[in-house]
Chain A
Amino acid sequence: MNVLQPRTKAEALAQLAERPEAIPIAGGTDLLVHWPTRPAEHDRTYLDVSGIDELKGMRWTDRELVLGALATYWDVITDARATRELPLLGQAARQVGAVQIQARGTWAGNIVNGSPAADGVPVLMAYDAVVVLESQRGREEVPLAQFYQGYKQMRRTSDQLVVEIRIPRRVYAVQWFEKVGSRRAQAIAKVGLAVVRGDEGWRIAAASVAPTVRRCAALERLLAEATPLRSPDDLLPAIDRDVAPIDDIRSTASYRRRVMARVLYYGLQAS
């Protein structure tokens, strides 16, 4: 096993350019799961970014909250301003594992792990977050809603590092996040739904109902047109255009589809 331990971002980008097979590691909460039973993973090269001060923490500008690539869930949960101004971030973060995971897991790691069941990604996507990637070739900004191309496929080339996540500061008339799992804590989502309405219109981001977390354009259109809804079933045609749930270890396609309709319908009624 080979571990590269850059101290600066520039050093990390140089090492990544030279060793594009290196896997960036920050909190390790995904990469280390069942580690002793996965010896093939031990033979790889890791780029340990956890010691790069430039990537830590978060900062506010007039228009954005900028999460450094090493900002953890716990950083956000314990930041009164973040939980007040962009409350879905804290709400989602508190549903990622428990404090032991929240203290280590990063928002950037949640994005590049690429799980369709991610909890952090749907709220970032609903808030129109932008992923900032850097390599020695330069800097690239990709809206999170366009970042995923398929199951675990994303617009990050192997020499690029996620360096920050930019979240616009906006005022929302409606904003909520709902995660449905088998238990209230320590569960992976069967359905996750982040819904916001601001000056830019509706944003609906759904998790665990498609190969990636994704925006739901048909549902957003339905809500923009203020289509009257008489029951959760009225949402199903748009849901069927937007997502493609499957049967897997955690749930079934039909459960996910029905629950997504009900969570959305009753969530809209309450908001």
Chain B
Amino acid sequence: MPDMLAVAFTLNGAPVSLEVDPAERLLDTLRYRLGLTGTKEGCGEGECGACTVYLDGLPVNSCLIPIYQVHGRRVETVESLDPAALEPLRDSGATQCGACTPGVAMTACWIATHPQLLATHSIRELMAGNLCRCTGYDGIVDGIAAKLAGRP
């Protein structure tokens, strides 16, 4: 048995504390210890963004975060999103196989709640860390634009 480490953090608004193997990544803890399987593993190297979660409000790759660094911090996963907030993405044809969708939804909702970012960044630049191999990106970008415009 490895030396276990106690970590406590806020997960989707509720406190969580558990003993972890320090070699676990946040992604592993979410999926295999806490049963939150919405967060997907794609590449495991911080490239594809399928594992995107919010750490203290910023989108990050949970495959690159050692669980011991999450102690005392705030984590939100795709399970925390309001399904209604995803309707523009559904309506714009932004999903196909669904592997990238949880990560895409996380970054998309982060952009939608931080529209001031568009003063310096394009939607495409902000979405560059979420790879989609099915639909291409036009549907995703259109869905986010519709969300920002408040269109149904």
Contact = CB atoms under 8 A, between A and B. Distances in A.
Interface of A: 1-3, 5, 25, 27-29, 32-37, 42, 46, 48, 50-51, 74, 77, 94, 97-101, 103-104, 184-186
Contacts of A46: 66
Interface of B: 2-3, 5, 21-23, 25, 28, 44-47, 49, 52, 55, 58-61, 63-66, 68-69, 71-72, 107, 120, 125-131
B47 A186 contact: yes
B147 to A, nearest CB: 17
Interface class of chain A by DSSP: loop
Contacts of B61: 29, 100-101, 104
A103 B61 CA distance: 10
Contacts of A185: 125, 128-129
B45 A33 contact: yes
B78 to A, nearest CB: 14
A103 B60 contact: yes
A74 to B, nearest CB: 7
A99 B72 CA distance: 22
A35 B68 CA distance: 15
A186 B129 contact: yes
Nearest to A32: B64
Nearest to A27: B64
Counting chain B CB atoms within 10 Å of each CB, the highest count among A1, A42, A100 belongs to A100
A74 B120 CA distance: 13
B25 A32 contact: yes
A141 B25 CA distance: 35
A257 to B, nearest CB: 28
Given A28-B69, A35-B25, A103-B60, A97 B107 contact: no
Contact of A33 (B46, B69, B107, B131): B46
A185 B61 CA distance: 16
A28 B126 contact: no
A103 B22 contact: no
Contact of B59 (A35, A51, A100): A100
Given A100-B52, A185-B125, A32 B65 contact: yes
Contacts of A1: 2-3, 21-23
9 contacts: A3-B66, A33-B44, A35-B25, A42-B23, A98-B127, A100-B49, A100-B107, A103-B55, A104-B61
Given A1-B22, A32-B25, A50 B46 contact: no
Given A28-B66, A104-B64, A186 B131 contact: yes
Contacts of A74: 58
A50 B68 CA distance: 10
Contacts of B55: 103-104
A99 B107 contact: yes
Top-4 shortest CB links A-B: A98-B129, A185-B128, A98-B128, A103-B58
Given A1-B23, A35-B25, A186-B47, A100 B129 contact: yes
Nearest to A36: B44
Contact of A5 (B2, B49, B68): B68
B68 A100 contact: no
A35 B66 CA distance: 10
Contacts of B125: 94, 98, 185
Nearest to A37: B44
Contacts of A29: 46, 61, 64
B47 A3 contact: no
